[in-house]
Structure 1
Amino acid sequence: MAKRFEVGDHVSWNSEAGRVSGTIIAIHTSDFDYKGYVHHASEGDPQYEIKSDRTDHIAAHRGSVLDYA
């Protein structure tokens, strides 16, 4: 089971550029369009929008790839 996070939680994840951290700004529990791609999400497997600490980049990830920073 994936970890559950809340808006405002500080998290980190691996990216092509190495370890990245940021703050959760939204939680999606149904499919949503992001950057031209449909991300699949559900109540049981939500996706999180995260604003990077170092840039203005917004990423969308499942809880299974996130850790508390």
Structure 2
Amino acid sequence: MTKSFKKGDRVTWQSHGGTAEGEVVRKVTEDTELAGRTVRASKDEPQYLVRSDKSGGEAVHKPSALTKKG
């Protein structure tokens, strides 16, 4: 079963400099342009737009790359 997150969830992920922490901004369920790249997503294979606490930057991640905090 795929991990699922909702807006506002606190998550961590692996970044170039180690572990990053931030918040889920929204669930992406269709192909779209986000964070400077084309995101391939669907209802069956969603991705998540997250905002980094440290940089304030946004990136899109697959559910497998995210870990819920708490």
TM-score > 0.5, shorter chain as reference: yes
Give the counterpart letter for 1:44 in structure 2: D
1:30 counterpart residue number: 30
Secondary structure at the counterpart of residue 64 of structure 1: helix
Question: Does residue 44 of structure 1 match 2:40?
Answer: no
Gaps of 5+ in 2: none
The CA distance in 2 between the partners of 1:40 and 1:30, in whole Å, is 7
The CA distance in 2 between the partners of 1:2 and 1:64, in whole Å, is 7
Task: Give me the identity figure in percent.
Answer: 34
1:66 counterpart residue number: 66
Note the aligned Cα RMSD (angstroms). Answer: 0.9
Gaps of 5+ in 1: none
**Offset, 1:12:** 0.4
**Offset, 1:2:** 2.1
Compute the TM-score of the two structures, normalised by the length of structure 1: 0.91
* Off by >6 Å, runs of 4+ in structure 1: none
Secondary structure at the counterpart of residue 61 of structure 2: strand
